[in-house]
Amino acid sequence: MELGLQDQGVVIVGGASGIGWAMVEAFAQEQARVAVIDIAPVPALSGFEGPVAVRADVTDYAAIQAAARELPPRLGRVDHVIYAAAVGSGKYGFPYWNLEPADWERVWRVNLLGAVHVAHAFGPLLSQQRRGTMLFLASVAGQIGSQTDPPYSASKAALINFAQCAAKDLAPYNVRVNTICPGMVRTPLNRSVWQAWAAQQSPETWQDYETWAAAKIARLIPLNRWQTPEDVAALAVFLASDRAANITGQTLNVDGGFVMHW
C-alpha cells in the first residue's frame, strides 16, 4: 500500500529487536527515514540504508533529551515517534504476592516513565511543527488485568491512559497519539513469561514453550493463531499515514480477538 511516508522521519524507541525491529523494517519499506533509540546494538537493515542508531537508556531522561536534539538534523526532521521499549518482571505473578513490591520498580521505570521521557523530549518538537504522530506499544495485558505479570500489566494500563492524556494535549497542534496492544506474539518477552511460569511447575505440569503457547492460544485467541511482529508493524505504518488522519486517542488491538469490548 502506498502510504505517502517517503522521506518522513521516524524515531522508534526500543527498535533493536522484536516488534520494534519489525516496525523499523516496515517503515523502511515505505521509504521513510528511520532512527532507532535503544540500549542494545542496532542491526543493519537488509536492502535499505540505516537505520540511524542512538544508544540510550529510556530511564535516563537526559540521554533521551540529547537524542531528541540529535535526531532531527540527522533525519531531516522527525515526523513520527514510536515507543516500543518494554520489560517484564521476570517472575510469574499468580498470585500477585509471588512478587515483591521491589519487583515493580524497573518495570514501571522502563514501561511507563521511559515513555513519559520520550513524550516530554519529542512532544514539544512535534507541537512546534504542528504535524506528526506518537505511538505507544502497550499490551492486551493492560486491558484485562492479566495475572501473569502484575507489574507489566499495570504499567501497560497506565501507558494506555497516559497516551490518551497526550492525545488530548497534542490534538490542537495536529499531532495524533495512539496505542497498539499486541496479543500473543512470539518475542523474547513472551518467552520470558513462559520461563517464569515453567520455573514454578512440577515435573507433572511442566510444558515446553511451544506446547504452553499453543494451549494458551487455543484457550484465549478466537482466531487460534499467533500474532506476528509484522502484523503489529503494519498497523503502526498505517497509523502514521494520512489515511489515519482522524484516528487519535485510540487503543487498537492486534490480538486475534483476545480482547473484545461490547
What architecture does CATH give domain 9-184+227-254?
3-Layer(aba) Sandwich (3.40)
What are the cell numbers at 125?
A: 518538537
Confidence of residue 146 (pLDDT cuts 50, 70, 90): confident
- Taking residues 99-117, what's their average pLDDT? 96
C-alpha distances in angstroms, 119 versus 6, 85, 136? 24, 13, 10
Q: Which residues of 136-174 are buried (b: 16+ CB within 10 A; e: fewer)?
A: bbbbbbbbeebebbbbbbbbbbbbbebbbebbeebeebe
pTM to 2 decimal places = 0.95
* 116 Cβ contact partners less than 8 Å away, ≥ 6 residues apart: 162
Catalytic annotation, residues: 152
Confidence of residue 249 (pLDDT cuts 50, 70, 90): very high
Scored b (16 or more CB within 10 A) or e, 231-258 reads bbbbbbbebbbeebeeebbebbbbbbeb
Q: Does residue 115 surpass a pLDDT of 90? A: yes
For residue 192, the model assigns a pLDDT of 84
pLDDT category at 1 given cuts 50, 70, 90 is: low
Per-residue pLDDT of 5-57, as tens digits, reads 999 999 999 999 999 999 999 999 999 999 999 999 999 988 888 899 999 99
pLDDT for position 41: 94
Average pLDDT over residues 225-250: 98
- The mean pLDDT of 191-199, rounded to a whole number, is 86
pLDDT digits (tens, 9 = 90+) for 202-222: 999 999 999 999 999 999 999
